[in-house]
Amino acid sequence: MRLNKRIANLGLASRREADRLIADGRVRVNGEIVTEMGHKVDPDTDQVSVDKAGMEAPLYLAVNKPSGYTCDAKANAQEPKVVTQLVDFDGVYPIGRLDKDSTGLIFLTNDGTLATALNHPEEFKEKEYEVVVDHPIAEGALVTLQKGMPLMGGHTRPTKTRRLSENRFCITLTEGKNRQIRRMCRKVGANVRHLKRIRIDSVELGDLKIGHWRHLSEDEVARLKTPSNPET
């Protein structure tokens, strides 16, 4: 296996970043610095390290998902465009989901601990979305969305809403039922034309361009791993 691919598989850097690290003399194979591009290693026997990084460094990425991509780890004939194709790392998978037609913030990781924490049914991490509907939405409809409603054999948790214009608003959920916002909007007589997730807990999409990604900071990861308080 090529050294840059092995580094990517270990979550230590993307392949392009790995090439730069190799050229800078920051990569060791079995304790020896390797600067040769195209150097090959045996993943079963060769020990690869980058500076003082561990062999199985956890990886945390924020991605601005475009429309048309599904939140699956691997592509298939039915869904050839998946969110993991947008990054340069192997071995990562999405936490949670965004509809194929929706855009915005989603996390990719190789850390099962974070995935478990965020996907736990009793977790109350906020997820904020910007919604555009097909016609002006009444104030009473926003109030109904805030209170929660019967949906899919259960009842949605209360939400927060914030009007942006006649047919555009933000809604904040603390759960993630299948196509929840689209279903809730239909119940108040509105059809979603565009749906973008702009925040998960304290992590904001900000000016991250669509189809691009960035590393989460240590502080962001620490906050995400901290249990939420449903009373706040």
Q: Is residue 176 part of a domain?
A: yes
Q: Note the pLDDT tens digit of each residue in 35-61.
A: 998 999 987 777 777 764 444 568 899
Give the number of other CB atoms < 10 A from CB of residue 80: 11
Q: Note the pLDDT tens digit of each residue in 103-128.
A: 999 999 887 778 777 877 677 899 99
Structure tokens at 72: 């699956």
Same-domain status, 39 and 139:
no
Question: Which of the following is catalytic: 51, 99, 101, 134?
Answer: 99
Active site residue 99: yes
Count of structural domains, the chain: 3
Of 145, 113, 150, the closest CA to residue 129 belongs to 145
CB 225 within 8 A of CB 123: no
Structure tokens at 100: 């194929």
Give the CATH number, domain containing residue 75. Answer: 3.30.70.580
pLDDT at 166: 97
Same-domain status, 33 and 69:
no
Same-domain status, 134 and 19:
no
Which domain, by its residues, includes 23?
A: 3-50
Q: Is residue 232 part of a domain?
A: no
What's this model's pTM, rounded to 2 decimal places? 0.76
pLDDT at 53: 45
Q: Note the pLDDT tens digit of each residue in 131-157.
A: 999 999 999 999 999 999 999 889 999
Q: What percent of the chain has pLDDT over 90?
A: 54
Residue 190 and residue 122: Cα distance in Å, rounded?
A: 29
Same-domain status, 109 and 215:
yes
HSE-CB of 58 using CA atoms within 13 angstroms? 13
